[in-house]
Amino acid sequence: MSMFIGRQAIVIGAGMSGLGAARALADHFEQVTVLERDTLPADPVPRPGVPQSWHLHGLLGGGQRAFSELFPGFEADLVQAGGVPLRVGLDFLMEIPGYDPFPQRDLGWVICAMSRPVVEQTVRRCVERHANITLRRGCRALEIVEGSGGRIRRNLGERSPL
């Protein structure tokens, strides 16, 4: 583990980007706190702050590799959570009206098809395994205030998230 560059990092939002950012920061800060305005469901169900929750999802190769680097065993976690591994070029057929179907070929690339809530919950569970990352649910960031020395200080006003 590298030397810490700071005591605390704050991430606003526990969506896919926020969760990935929290994990990346965890190696460099003593404590990482993720603030999420939604209450995060225990089950993989759509939530209000994620309008694309109802769409079918699949991670492209780069995203799947990035999460696998951040979270060893991530692909197995996805499958255990209900993701369906698909071999690109073999397990589904792409057709475009007016053209012959693309021939089936093993392109050597396996992706997982799943719902957005399944992939987000899997990433969230991976994040929660890290002792120095805290998820604060139902906590809306109202204001970011810069303090002395270029540091962010918390707003001590009503409904302060920190």
Where do the domains of the chain lie?
1-37+132-162, 46-127
Instruction: Quote the pLDDT of residue 13.
Output: 92
Instruction: Quote the pLDDT of residue 14.
Output: 93
The string of pLDDT tens digits covering residues 76-88 is: 999 999 988 988 8
Instruction: Quote the pLDDT of residue 148.
Output: 66
Distance of CA 129 to the CA centre of its chain: 14
Cα 120 from Cα 2, distance rounded (Å): 27
Instruction: Quote the pLDDT of residue 33.
Output: 95
DSSP string over 109-160: -EEEEEEHHHHHHHHHHHHHT-TTEEEETT------EE-GGG-EE---STT-
Instruction: Quote the pLDDT of residue 46.
Output: 86
Contact 94, 88 (CB under 8 A): no
Cβ burial of 19 (10 Å; 0-12, 13-18, 19+) is buried
Instruction: Quote the pLDDT of residue 162.
Output: 44
Q: What is the pLDDT along the chain (162 residues), one digit of tens a residue?
A: 458 888 999 999 999 999 999 999 999 999 999 999 988 888 888 888 787 887 777 777 788 889 999 999 999 999 999 988 988 888 877 788 998 888 888 888 888 888 889 999 999 999 999 999 999 998 888 877 776 666 665 554 444 444
Cα 45 from Cα 52, distance rounded (Å): 12
The string of pLDDT tens digits covering residues 47-73 is: 887 878 877 777 777 888 899 999 999
Contact 39, 28 (CB under 8 A): no
Alpha helices in 27-137 (DSSP H): 61-70, 74-80, 116-128
Measured in degrees and rounded to the nearest 5, phi and psi for residue 110 equal -110, 125
Instruction: Quote the pLDDT of residue 133.
Output: 97
